[in-house]
Amino acid sequence: MKKPLSTRTKILINVGVVIGVAVMIAIVLFATRTPTPPSSTGSASAPQVLRENSHRLSTAADGKVTVVEFLDFECEACGAVYPVVEDLREEFDGEVTFVTRYFPIPSHTNAVNSAVAAEAAARQGQFEAMYSKLFETQTQWGEQPESRADLFRTYAEDIGLDLELYDADIQDPAVLERVMEDQREGTALGVQGTPTFFLNGEQLELSTLEAFRAAIEGAVRE
C-alpha cells in the first residue's frame, strides 16, 4: 500500500503543474507570435524611419527602395551631400523613393529656424522648393550667431508662398512640434549627427559617396 502524499508534497506538485503549463503557454505564444516589423513600418508608438507625413522628394511607384535622410539645413556636410542626392534622384528616377526628415543640431543657431521655414513651406505644398533654396544659399546664412528668420521669409517670397499664411505658420507651435518630432524620432533610431541615411529601414555606415551609390544600386537590382 502506497503511503499517502503529504500536504506539502501535494502543494509542490500543484505548483509544478502550474509552472509547467505556464512554460508551455509561453513556448506556444513565442512560436506563433507575429514578428516585430522593422522600424520603417512599426507601430505608431515605436520609432519609425519613415512615416506617412515624412517629406518625399521623389516617389518610386513600386515602393521597393527607399532612402531616408535625417538632415540639418545648416549642416555643412548636409550642404555638401545635397548635390549628390540630387544626382542620385535623377539617376534613380522612378526607382527609388527619396525622403527627408528634420534633425536640427542644437549648436547651429539657425537649424531650427530653417527647418521651421521648410515646414511652413510644406504646408503650402512647396517643401522641395524651400529645401533646395536653403541648401543652395547655405553659405550666405549658415554658421552665423544671429537668427536669419527674416532672410528665410525672403526665400518664402522668392518661391511664391502666401506670406500672410507663411507668417502665421511660422508662429504656429504645431509647425515647430512637427520639426521636433522628427528630431526626437531620429534620436530614438540612433541618429547622432547629420547627414544620416537609412536604406530600406537600415542605417547606412558609409565611408565614401561611391559606396552610397553602390548601396542604392544594389537594393534596386535585388
pLDDT tens readout for residues 2-12: 344 444 344 33
CA distance 136 to 144: 16
Residue 34 lies in a domain: no
Chain segment 144-196, per-residue pLDDT in tens: 999 999 999 999 999 999 999 999 999 999 999 999 999 999 999 999 999 99
The predicted pLDDT at position 44 comes to: 54
Output the domain CATH number for residue 75. 3.40.30.10
Say if residue 31's pLDDT is above 90: no
- Does a structural domain hold residue 17? no
Model pLDDT, residue 12: 36
> Residues 39-74: pLDDT tens digits?
333 445 799 999 999 999 999 999 999 999 999 999
Tell me, yes or no, whether 37 lies in a domain.
Answer: no
Q: What is the pLDDT of residues 194-213, one digit of tens each?
A: 999 999 999 999 889 899 99
Q: How far apart are CA 141 and CA 152, in angstroms?
A: 9
**Would residue 85 count as lying in a domain?**
yes
Query: Does residue 172 form part of some domain?
Result: yes
Q: What percent of the chain has pLDDT over 90?
A: 76
Question: How large is the average pLDDT for residues 16-40?
Answer: 33
Buried b (16+ CB within 10 A) or exposed e, 126-150: bbbbbbebbbebbeebbeeeeebee
* Distance linking the first and last C-alpha atoms of the chain: 73
Residues 154, 157, 161, 162, Cα dihedral to 10°: 100
**pTM: predicted TM-score of the whole model, two decimal places:** 0.79
Domain carrying residue 59:
55-221
Q: Is residue 198 part of a domain?
A: yes
What's the chain look like in SS3? CCCCCCHHHHHHHHHHHHHHHHHHHHHHHHHHCCCCCCHHHCCCCCCCCCCCCCEEEECCCCCCCEEEEEECCCCHHHHHHHHHHHHHHHHCCCCCEEEEEECCCCCCCCHHHHHHHHHHHHCCCCHHHHHHHHHHCHHHHCCCCCCCHHHHHHHHHHCCCCHHHHHHHHHCHHHHHHHHHHHHHHHHCCCCCCCEEEECCEECCCCCHHHHHHHHHHHHHC
User: How many folded domains does the chain comprise?
Assistant: 1
Q: At how many degrees (to 10) do helices 149-158 and 111-122 cross?
A: 30
Residue 39 lies in a domain: no
Which residues are bridge partners to 97 per DSSP?
66
